[in-house]
Chain A
Amino acid sequence: QQQVKQSPQSLIVQKGGISIINCAYENTAFDYFPWYQQFPGKGPALLIAIRPDVSEKKEGRFTISFNKSAKQFSLHIMDSQPGDSATYFCAASSPNTGTASKLTFGTGTRLQVTL
């Protein structure tokens, strides 16, 4: 059962443009929503994360928008650069007493930023 759905599967954006990746979740127990960036041959690296009590979080060129009632959240990359070309994963986590929470990942979006 896929609990986090991610779209689009791939995205091509011109340098300086805005990249938008969307995710939807089903489990209302999720309380933490991170985005990860993964380059070929590397593990995922945390980009930005949000809690459901906040509707938007911005860090530099990266912004998460969160819609709790629709159970959707999205990543916006402003002024996209060729160095942003990577695969992006949304994820979600639910509370777990006593130990670190596990992450449920989306299927990923391959972003290509062209010159």
Chain B
Amino acid sequence: DAGVTQSPTHLIKTRGQQVTLRCSPKSGHDTVSWYQQALGQGPQFIFQYYEEEERQRGNFPDRFSGHQFPNYSSELNVNALLLGDSALYLCASSRTQRRYGYTFGSGTRLTVV
């Protein structure tokens, strides 16, 4: 049973560019949450998608946007990249009926230069 799959694993972008990160949830999961983990810090909640809609959002600017597809997979888009956006971006999936059953992917390491 595949867990949460994220792509790409590593990415280098230039300031001002745009990036798209992808996540396939664990089989049977219908909710996808995205977290940003800066080096040496704990993950910070970005937003959560369920039924193709953004349901909750953390304290992140509008440059961060997302999408969920009918097959429950999700994308995280970041526009106008800043050096401070360099981080590990984690996707976590869960089932709505089990509010606390999160499974995290291994993340995408984004470096902005």
Residues of A within 8 A of B (CB): 4, 6, 32, 34, 36, 41-46, 49, 89, 91, 93, 95-96, 98-108
Contacts and interface: CB of A to CB of B under 8 A. Distances in A.
Interface in B11-44: 31, 33, 35, 40-44
Contacts, number: 72
Contacts of A89: 42-43
Q: Is the interface of B mostly helix, strand, loop or mixed?
A: strand
Contacts of A4: 42
Contacts of A32: 99-100
Contacts of B35: 103
A107 B38 CA distance: 10
Given A41-B106, A44-B104, A105-B44, A100 B99 contact: yes
Given A41-B106, A99-B55, 19 more contacts: A32-B100, A36-B104, A43-B106, A44-B43, A93-B99, A93-B100, A98-B96, A99-B50, A99-B56, A99-B99, A100-B31, A100-B99, A100-B102, A101-B99, A102-B48, A102-B58, A103-B45, A105-B43, A107-B40
B82 to A, nearest CB: 22
Interface residues of B, number: 28
A1 B107 CA distance: 25
A89 B35 CA distance: 14
B96 A108 contact: no
Contacts of B40: 107-108
A102 B41 contact: no
B45 A45 contact: no
B76 interface: no
Closest CB pairs A-B (n = 8): A105-B42, A43-B104, A100-B94, A102-B45, A99-B55, A100-B31, A99-B50, A43-B106
Contacts of B104: 36, 43-45
B45 A104 contact: yes
